[in-house]
Amino acid sequence: MKRFVDQVVVITGAANGIGKACAQRFAQEGANIACLDITTADNEATAAECRSLGVEALALLCDVTDVDNIRLVIDAILEKWRRIDTLVASAGIYTGTPLAEVPLQQWQRTIDINLTGAFLTNQAIAPIIMKQRRGSIINLSSMAGKTSWPASAEYSSSKSGVIGLTRSVAMELAPYGATANAVCPGNTLTDMVRNVAAKVGATDGMTGEEWLDMRANDCPMKRLAEPWEIAGVIAFLASEDSRYLTGQAIEVDGGMVMS
Ligand SMILES: NC(=O)c1ccc[n+]([C@@H]2O[C@H](COP(=O)([O-])OP(=O)(O)OC[C@H]3O[C@@H](n4cnc5c(N)ncnc54)[C@H](O)[C@@H]3O)[C@@H](O)[C@H]2O)c1
């Protein structure tokens, strides 16, 4: 299936995890990929992998909290390809800190990257999509945006905010035939989750692996997600098959929130 031939997909947080899986999936389906991340070597590796699949790809150093940086990067993308069809806003962090121990700076950093970063990239790309009168924005929220648990105050707040942001962007894009949706993954096997498992597991007297097993057991499907399973839903949301689907926050969590 090659649904995105000659289209341009911008992915933040493309160096790792779900962002990387999205880059691979869109490249497999023919899209040219702009990989945005604060890391350099891993991001270049993602772009190189996309190029090996026969598409064009740029690795661009971009901090999603830096509005000037975003502007420069978007200019570079437009200069090369003259269009942007899809934004996947995947850059994010998670600390797993109990409420009483969250310093204000840490609260602000999580909100800056997870929520303001999505806002700034949506704000930069939505006008381009409106002008083209086609395109899609997919923001990474989380099941933590719909429910929560201890040691997630700033993360859950940021991810609930992403759902609100997405709905408003969807309202503005709708008259142009374009869509915005949020995806709310459950625990997905990436560096983010492995790091949190090690940290939160230790406070509960468990190894990271034991904590991950516990989370898998909590899930109706009795397993955690692989990054490619989230990327598949994101690709659907960027495809023609979902043109009438907008403003939604879709749980891709093996039934966690539902249960
Ligand atoms: N893994 C999960 O279980 C899970 C669950 C629900 C939601 N999510 C969300 O999915 C998204 C991707 O998560 P992941 O698991 O792939 O994480 P990850 O840690 O594997 O990858 C995140 C990427 O974001 C990049 N990044 C961090 N700060 C940045 C910044 N300021 N500017 C640009 N890039 C930055 C990192 O360098 C990294 O490459 C995040 O928004 C996360 O909150 C993940």
Ligand 1 neighbours (beta carbon < 6 A): 12-13, 15-19, 37-39, 62-65, 90-94, 113-114, 117, 140, 142, 185, 187-188, 190-193
As given in the structure block, the two tokens for residue 21 are 């899986």
Could you tell me which residues are beta bridge partners of residue 181? 138
Which positions are annotated as active-site residues? 155
Which residues does 177 contact at the CB level (< 8 Å), separation at least 6?
A: 133, 134, 243
- pLDDT score for 203: 84
pLDDT digits (tens, 9 = 90+) for 239-258: 999 999 999 999 999 999 99
> 8-252: CATH homologous superfamily?
NAD(P)-binding Rossmann-like Domain (3.40.50.720)
Q: Which position has the token pair 């797993």?
A: 96
At 1 the pLDDT is 84
Pocket test for ligand 1, best of 12, 16, 108, 155 (most atoms within 8 A of CB): 16
Per-residue pLDDT tens digits for 29-38: 999 999 999 9
The atom of ligand 1 lying closest to the CA of 225 is 3
Q: Given ligand 1 and candidates 146, 149, 192, which is best to mutate, with the most ligand atoms within 8 Å of its CB?
A: 192
Beta bridge partners of 140: 183
| Burial bucket for residue 100 (CB in 10 Å: 0-12, 13-18, 19+) | exposed
Average pLDDT over residues 218-231: 98
Cβ burial of 249 (10 Å; 0-12, 13-18, 19+) is: buried
d(CA 126, CA 139): 12
Atom 23, ligand 1: which residue's CA is nearest? 13
115-131 mean pLDDT: 98
Mean pLDDT over the full length of the chain: 97
> Which pLDDT does position 167 carry in this prediction?
98
Please give the model's pTM, rounded to 2 decimal places: 0.98
